[in-house]
Amino acid sequence: MTSMNASAAPARCPLIQLCYVRLAVQTPQPAAAFATDVLGLQHVPSDLEPFLYRSDQRYYTLCFTTDADRPSIGIEISDDRGLDRIAETAIGDGFRAREATRNECAQRVVRRAIIVEDASGNEIDLVLRPALSGRRYFPSRDAGVTGLQSVGVRSRAMKDDLKLWTAILGAKVTDRVGEITYLGIDKMHHRVVLHPSDKAGIVYVSFGVESLDALMQNNYFVEERQIKVLHGPGREPASGQMFVRFAGPEGYVFSYGYGLACVDSDHRPRQFTLEASSLCEWGSQCVDIAELQPTPAS
Amino acid sequence: MIELKDLSYVRFGTSNLEDAESFATKCLGLQVGEQSGKAVYLRSDDRAHTLCYFEGSPADQVVGFEVEDEIELNAAAATLDHLGHPVHAGTNTECGLRKVKAFIGFKDPTGNQIELVVRPERSGKRYFASRDAGITGFSHVGLSTTDPVRDERFWTQVCNARVSDRIGDVALMRVNAIHHTIALAPGPGPGVHHVNHQVESNDDVLRSFYHLSGQRVPIVFGPGRHPTSGARFLYFRGPDGMVFEYSVGVDAIEDEETHRPRSFGFEPSSLCMWGSKRNW
C-alpha cells in the first residue's frame, strides 16, 4: 500500500543538499594557502584529512586530497532506503557504484556513502548524515562567504549523465543554455550545472557571498593578487546569480556568487540560446574555459 | 541666500562637434533633442536638454542651476555683485541658446563658469535613449576647486547648498534630498571634473562597463561603490578629456534637520569601498 501511495504522489527528491567538493591535488600546501588566504575559508584540523575547509555551519565543504586521482562531489541522500534504492537502480542501468569503506566514510565525515561514477567518469559520493559543526563558521578573511553553493561538472556523455542526475537521483532540470543544463535539488535555481565537454572533471566550485558588495570586493581582491579572473564579474540570466570566476590551484576554478534565484515548484525549464549573453547578461566573456564559451561542444 | 532648486544643464565647447555627438549618442546613450550647425542639444530625461555641446574652446565649460523665478534671479545678481563677482545678464539670444526664460552668468571663487537660470524648457515628448544604457537622468556635477574650504563656504553660505559628507576637506553638497548635486574635486584650476547620469540598476552599470570597454572608451574608475552616497558607479572618458559617470543607488537624505555630515579619510577606500582604483 505504502509503495503504491508513494508512486502516486509526486516523487519527492531524495537529494537533500550539495555537501562538499573533494579536489584531488598533487601539492596540497599551495592549495591550502589558497583556501584560507584567497577564498577566506576556515581550516578544519583533522588527522584523517589535513586539508578540510569550512564555508558555513557544516563540518567542511571543501577538501583538498592527495589520496584521489580525480575530484568528487558529495550529495546528501535522505535515508538508507533511498540510498539503497538509488544504488540498485544506478547499477541496474549500468553505472558503477560501490559502498564506501569505513575509512572512506571517516575521511568524508559521513555515516555512510555510496560512490557512484557517472557515464563521463565523474565521482559522485551519495552520503548519509554528513557532519555539521557546533561551532559557528569563523572565516580567515572578510570575504563574506555564506557557504558552498554550486558546482559546474563536465560531461562527455550528456544523455547518460543527465539520466543519472534526473531519472535516478531525482534532480530537476531548471534551465538550459544550449545543452548546458542547470540542475536543482532544493529550492535554489541550481546546485549542479552539467557542461558538455570532451572530458570529465569540475568546471568550477562556487561559494555564495552575502552581498553584491562582497562579490565586487572579492573581484578586486583577487585581481590585486594577480589571480586571473576567468569570467566576470558577470550575471547569469537564467539563475540571476552574479559571479566572479577565477583561477585556483592546479587548474581548478573557483567562483563567488551572489543572487542565485529560488525557483517555484511549478517552474518549467527554459531554453536559452547558446550565445555569450545567455551565460552573462552584463557582457563578460570567458576565453580560457571551453565549457563556458558559447560554442557547440565538439 | 541664493536658493538653487536643481541642476539644469552643462554646456561644453568642443573643437569637433561631430565626435562629441557621436560619443554622446553611441557611447553615453543620450538622445539628440535638437541640432543646429553650431550646437547639439542632448536629452537624458524629460527636460529639453541637459547637455549641450557647442562649437568653441573645450576650456569653455558651464554649469547651469535653476532658481525659482526672475525675482530670485535678480536678488541673486545683486548678492553676487555685492560680493564682487562680476555678473552677466543673459541676452535674449543667449537665453534662446540655453532654452531658458532668463539667466545670469558668474564665476565661483575657483573660476568655474556658473549660470543661474529661470524656467528651463521641458519637452512634451518622452526621453527615448539612443542606446539601452538605462539612463534615468542628469544628476550631478563634479566641480574643480583650488581651495575646497573656501568653495564650500561659497556654496553653503552664499548659496543654499548643504554638506552631506566630506572626504578629507572635500565636500559633497546637496541642494535637495539627493545626497549630492555638487561634488567638489581638488584641481589646479576651474573646470567641470565629471558629469553624472543616473541609471536604472546595478546591472546597467556593469553592462555599460563591458559595452564601453568593447567600444574602447577609456574606463577611468570602477565599476565601484562610493561609501559616502552608497552609489555604484562607473567613470569613463569622453571627448576633450571630459569624464562622465553612470551611477545608481544614490542615497536620499531623509531628514534634513538632523543629518550630520560624516567625515571620511582622504584615502582610496573612501572613494571606492569595493577596491577599484581611480586612474585619472
pLDDT tens-digit map of B9-25:
999 999 999 999 999 99
| A171 pLDDT more than 50 | yes
Supply the DSSP string of chain A, one letter for each residue. -HHHHHHHSPPPP-EEEEEEEEEE-S-HHHHHHIIIIIS-PEEE--SS-S-EEESSSBS-SEEEESS-SS-EEEEEES-HHHHHHHHHHHHHTT-EEEEPPHHHHHHHT-SEEEEEE-TTS-EEEEEESPPB-SSPP--SS---EEEEEEEEEEES-HHHHHHIIIIIT--EEEEEETTEEEEESSSBS-SEEEEE-SS-EEEEEEEEES-HHHHHHHHHHHHHTTPPEEEEEEE-TTT--EEEEEE-GGG-EEEEEE-PPB--TT---EEE-SSHHHH-SS----SS-GGGSSS---
* B274 closest CB neighbour out of A213, A234, A281: A213
Distance from CA of A25 to the nearest CA of B (A): 31
pLDDT reported for residue A15: 87
Distance from CA of A277 to the nearest CA of B (A): 11
- Of residues B191 and A297, more confidently modeled: B191
pLDDT band, very low/low/confident/very high, at A109 (cuts 50, 70, 90): very high
| A100 pLDDT more than 80 | yes
- Is A282 in Cβ contact with B209 (below 8 Å)? yes
A21 closest CA partner among A58, A36, A218, A12? A58
Average pLDDT over residues A264-288: 95
Assessment of whether the complete model's pTM goes beyond 0.95: no
| A297 pLDDT more than 60 | no
Say yes or no: domain B6-118 is CATH 3.10.180.10.
yes
- Is A235 in Cβ contact with B210 (below 8 Å)? no
* Chain B residues close to A227, C-beta within 8 Å: none
- Is B275 in Cβ contact with A235 (below 8 Å)? no
Which of B199, B206, B232 is the best residue to mutate to test the A interface, defined by the most A CB atoms within 10 Å of its own CB? B206
Q: How many helices (H) and strands (E) does chain B have?
A: 6, 17
- Name the residue in chain A with its Cα closest to that of B205: A282
Q: Which residues contact B272 (CB under 8 A, 6 or more apart)?
A: B221, B222, B224, B225, B226, B227, B278
- Is A213 in Cβ contact with B225 (below 8 Å)? yes
CA-to-CA dists, residue A263 to A116, A165, A168, A187, angstroms: 27, 18, 21, 6
| B37 pLDDT more than 90 | no
B6-118 and B135-271 agree in CATH topology:
yes
- pLDDT per residue as tens digits for the range A202-218: 999 999 999 999 999 99
pLDDT reported for residue B144: 98
Average pLDDT over residues A70-79: 96
**How far, in Å, CA of A197 to CA of A122, rounded?**
12
CATH architecture of B135-271: Roll (3.10)
- Name the residue in chain A with its Cα closest to that of B227: A213
- Name the residue in chain B with its Cα closest to that of A221: B275
pLDDT reported for residue A204: 98
CB-CB contact of B241 with B199 (8 Å): no
Which of A141, A215, A216, A221 is the best residue to mutate to test the B interface, defined by the most B CB atoms within 10 Å of its own CB? A216
CB-CB contact of A18 with A185 (8 Å): yes
CB-CB contact of B76 with B67 (8 Å): yes
* Chain A residues close to B276, C-beta within 8 Å: 220
| A66 pLDDT more than 90 | yes
CB-CB contact of B12 with B61 (8 Å): yes
Strands A72-77 and A123-128: parallel
pLDDT band, very low/low/confident/very high, at A2 (cuts 50, 70, 90): very low
- Is A284 in Cβ contact with B210 (below 8 Å)? yes
Q: Which residues contact B75 (CB under 8 A, 6 or more apart)?
A: B2
Distance from CA of B277 to the nearest CA of A (A): 9
Average pLDDT over residues A133-143: 95
pLDDT reported for residue A11: 52
Strands B170-174 and B162-167: antiparallel
- Name the residue in chain A with its Cα closest to that of B226: A213
Kindly list the domain boundaries of chain B, sorted by start residue.
6-118, 135-271
* Chain A residues close to B207, C-beta within 8 Å: 281-283
Give the three cell numbers for residue A160: 547518460
- Is A219 in Cβ contact with B207 (below 8 Å)? no
**How far, in Å, CA of A226 to CA of A219, rounded?**
11
Q: Residue B166 half-sphere exposure, CB side, CA atoms within 13 Å?
A: 12
Is some CB atom of chain B closer than 8 A to the CB atom of A287? Answer: no
| A1 pLDDT more than 80 | no
- Is B224 in Cβ contact with A284 (below 8 Å)? no
- Provide the β-strand partners of residue B198: B137, B247
pLDDT above 70 as % of chain B: 100
pLDDT reported for residue A298: 44
Give the number of A-B residue pairs with CB atoms closer than 8 Å: 39
| B251 pLDDT more than 90 | no
- Name the residue in chain B with its Cα closest to that of A240: B203
Which of A235, A282, A284, A286 is the best residue to mutate to test the B interface, defined by the most B CB atoms within 10 Å of its own CB? A282
**Mean pLDDT over the full length of chain A:** 94
Distance from CA of A285 to the nearest CA of B (A): 9
Domains of chain A: 2-128 (3.10.180.10), 145-292 (3.10.180.10)
pLDDT band, very low/low/confident/very high, at A12 (cuts 50, 70, 90): low
B16 closest CA partner among B38, B35, B31? B38
**Mean pLDDT over the full length of chain B:** 96
For B87, which DSSP code? Answer: -
* Chain B residues close to A258, C-beta within 8 Å: none
pLDDT reported for residue A296: 57
- Is B207 in Cβ contact with A213 (below 8 Å)? no
pLDDT reported for residue A294: 87
Q: What residues in chain B have their Cβ under 8 A from chain A's Cβ atoms?
A: 202-203, 206-207, 209-211, 214, 223-225, 232, 273-276
Average pLDDT over residues A14-37: 96
- Is B214 in Cβ contact with A283 (below 8 Å)? yes
Is some CB atom of chain B closer than 8 A to the CB atom of A241? Answer: no
- pLDDT per residue as tens digits for the range A173-190: 999 999 999 999 999 999
Give the three cell numbers for residue A185: 535539488
pLDDT reported for residue B226: 97
| A5 pLDDT more than 50 | no
Structure-derived torsion over alpha carbons of residues A259, A264, A270, A273, reported in degrees to the nearest 10? -10
**How far, in Å, CA of B85 to CA of B87, rounded?**
6
